[in-house]
Every structure is written in structure tokens, then in C-alpha cells.
């Protein structure tokens, strides 16, 4: 099976229907027969543009065989402000399933007690050092409103600033309300940022559920690329909202501007993704390739902010 989530790509101001590849699964007893390639070929008959942000190596091979365009790097960031030894042990225990060869060493490490305590302390210290010399943006002069649904005024805001993103998936009011208000499982919080009454941006966050680690997720923050003060203010707001109830924060960014915003807020990059785009139109593929280093991604894209149980 392959799951596809429909979306609307905006490329140089043009709206282009596209699908996110959100799941690829083949029964272990039937792997090695090319079934994932055949299912992918069938999906391409219905979706002219298929995008994948995070993927297993086997899924990447499917995209590469289909002649994908590989985009520039997208980074996951963390801020381990209050990371504890128990969380380190839980994380490593989960990894014994994906790193079976390291399982014996992980069990010994966790049993030592001092190991997880040291890792947690070092992570907190590195986060503290990373924040030295990076003053936090102040929220002075801004007003913050938490909303249950995104208001219609966000539509002209997005229409006005969208030209500042050469390649991005839409952030229309319909999309935002579908993605962050109508989702039944995840307890998103939504905030609007204003200055002198004018809308300057929004922030979406969520806390980890009981099955997850004690994480706070900066799902999406958006302001005009020309408004760096508001971008920094949104990052400060995210810290203020999430830190009291978490041990570490997660965020993601692809563009240099958004990465700098997270770094100024004390985040450190930990993982690198190389998204892929499979496109049936050769001319459109060339345009996508020309913009490969300028796509805007956050945790709001793909299904990246899904629940990750441990």
C-alpha cells in the first residue's frame, strides 16, 4: 500500500496540485518482488507531482528509480532544555528495535545509571552553550491571541507574503483549519501574533501525548520572510509556551532564514533529510530542480508531526 495526502504546492506563485507520500508498506513475505515500485507507478497515473519529505531507504530507492528530483537539505532541530536521564533511557530502549546489533550495549549502558545521567547533562550543557551570545527576541510591543480556529484575516495575510516563498505548500485558511483544527488526535494550540493591531504571523504547537517522550513540538511558525523581528518573536513565544511542560523541544526548517531563527532561539540541528519530488511533466521537473535549494518546509509539512510512540 501507499498512502497519499493531497496538498497544494505554490511554485513561483503558481498553484500546482501535489500529493505527499505519507506511507509505503509491503508485507515482509512479499518484499523483493518490486511491488512498491508497481504501486508507486500506479499512483503516478493519478497524481502528477509526488513529494516525500521523510522516508525509509527503501522508499527513497522507489523515488530515485522513478527519476525524482532531490531537493536541498531539511533539518530537524532540538532544544534539550530540561532533558532527564529517564527520557534518555526510554529513547535508547526504543532504538534497540531499529539498532539490534547495539541492543546489548544499550542495555548495559542503561543499566549503568551514570550513562543516561551523563548524556542528559551533556545535552543540557550543549543547549546552554549554544544559546550563549544569542539574546532572545522580546515580545514587547506584540500582542498574542490563542484561537480555536484560524480567522479569515489569515487568507489575505498568506496571499500577501506567499510570493516570498519560491516553493512552498500553501498555508491558506482552509488548509490551516483542516490541518490544525479538525484533526481529532493531536492537541494543537494556535496563536496569532499582532503588532499595533496588524497581523504579523502565527504559531502552532503541540505537546507530546502519553505514548511519546516529554517533547514540545514547534509545528509551524509563519511570518513574512522580510519580517525577521516577528519570526524571532514567534520562536520566543514557542519557548515560552512549550518549555514549562516538556524536557526538550523539536522543530524543523529547510530555508536558511528559518534555520537561523531556530538557532537564535537555542535550537541545534540533529538530523538531515533530503526530500524528493517525482513529477510526470519534464518541464515542471526542470523548474522544480531550479528551485531545489529554496523549498520551505517545517513540521507542518508531510505528516512529520505525527505521534512517535516509545
pLDDT tens for residues 181-202?
Answer: 998 788 999 999 999 999 999 9
Full residue range of the structural domain in which residue 116 is found: 85-126
Whether 164 and 104 map to the same domain: the answer is no
Structural domain includes residue 36: no
Whether 140 and 229 map to the same domain: the answer is yes
Per-residue pLDDT tens digits for 121-177: 998 888 887 766 665 677 889 999 999 999 999 999 999 999 999 999 999 999 999
Which CATH number covers residue 171? 3.40.630.30
User: Residue 231, exposed/middle/buried by CB under 10 A (0-12, 13-18, 19+)?
Assistant: buried
Between CA 170 and CA 289 the distance in angstroms is 19
Structural domain includes residue 216: yes
Whether 136 and 228 map to the same domain: the answer is yes
Whether 114 and 209 map to the same domain: the answer is no
Structural domain includes residue 106: yes
Structural domain includes residue 39: no
* Partner residues linked to 271 by β-bridges: 76
Whether 108 and 148 map to the same domain: the answer is no
At residue 136, the pLDDT reads 63
Domains: count for the chain: 2
The DSSP output letter for 102 is: G
Helix (H) or strand (E) segment spanning residue 18: strand 14-24
Of 91, 133, 84, 64, the closest CA to residue 275 belongs to: 64
Between CA 182 and CA 176 the distance in angstroms is 9
**Grid cell at residue 92:** 535508547
Whether 104 and 178 map to the same domain: the answer is no
The DSSP output letter for 138 is: P
The DSSP output letter for 26 is: -
Per-residue pLDDT tens digits for 254-301: 999 999 999 999 999 999 999 999 999 999 999 999 999 999 999 999
Structural domain includes residue 210: yes
Whether 255 and 231 map to the same domain: the answer is yes
For the chain, give the percent of residues with pLDDT over 70.
98
Q: What is the pLDDT confidence band of residue 309, given thresholds at 50, 70 and 90?
A: confident
Structural domain includes residue 148: yes
Amino acid at each position: 500500500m501507499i498512502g497519499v495526502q493531497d496538498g497544494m504546492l505554490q511554485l513561483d506563485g503558481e498553484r500546482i496540485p501535489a500529493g505527499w507520500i505519507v506511507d509505503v508498506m509491503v508485507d515482509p513475505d512479499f518484499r523483493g518482488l518490486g511491488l512498491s515500485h508497481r504501486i508507486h507507478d500506479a499512483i503516478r497515473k493519478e497524481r502528477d507531482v509526488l513529494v516525500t519529505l521523510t522516508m525509509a531507504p527503501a522508499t527513497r530507492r522507489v523515488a530515485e528509480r522513478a527519476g525524482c528530483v532531490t531537493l536541498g537539505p531539511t533539518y530537524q532541530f532540538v532544544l534539550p532544555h530540561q532533558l532527564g536521564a529517564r527520557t534518555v533511557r526510554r529513547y535508547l530502549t526504543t532504538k534497540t528495535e531499529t539498532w539490534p546489533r547495539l541492543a546489548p550495549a544499550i542495555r548495559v549502558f542503561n543499566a549503568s545509571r551514570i550513562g543516561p545521567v551523563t548524556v542528559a547533562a551533556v545535552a543540557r550543557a550543549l543547549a546552554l552553550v549554544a544559546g550563549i551570545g544569542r539574546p532572545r527576541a522580546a515580545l514587547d510591543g506584540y500582542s498574542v491571541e490563542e484561537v480555536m480556529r484560524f480567522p479569515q484575516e489569515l487568507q489575505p495575510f498568506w496571499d500577501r507574503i506567499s510570493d516570498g516563498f519560491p516553493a512552498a505548500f500553501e498555508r491558506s485558511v482552509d488548509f490551516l483549519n483542516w490541518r490544525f483544527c479538525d484533526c481529532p488526535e493531536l492537541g494543537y494550540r494556535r496563536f496569532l501574533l499582532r503588532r499595533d493591531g496588524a497581523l504579523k504571523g502565527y504559531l502552532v504547537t503541540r505537546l507530546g501525548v502519553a505514548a511519546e517522550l516529554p517533547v514540545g513540538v514547534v509545528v509551524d511558525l509563519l511570518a513574512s520572510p522580510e519580517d525577521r523581528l516577528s519570526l524571532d518573536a514567534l520562536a520566543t513565544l514557542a519557548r515560552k509556551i512549550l518549555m514549562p511542560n516538556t524536557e526538550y523541544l523539536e522543530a524543523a526548517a529547510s530555508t536558511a532564514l528559518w534555520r537561523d531563527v531556530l538557532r537564535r532561539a537555542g535550537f541545534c540541528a540533529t538530523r538531515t533529510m533530503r526530500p524528493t519530488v517525482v513529477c510526470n511533466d519534464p518541464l515542471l521537473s526542470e523548474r522544480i530542480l531550479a528551485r531545489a535549494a529554496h523549498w520551505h518546509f517545517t513540521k507542518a509539512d508531510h505528516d512529520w508531526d505525527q505521534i512517535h510512540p516509545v
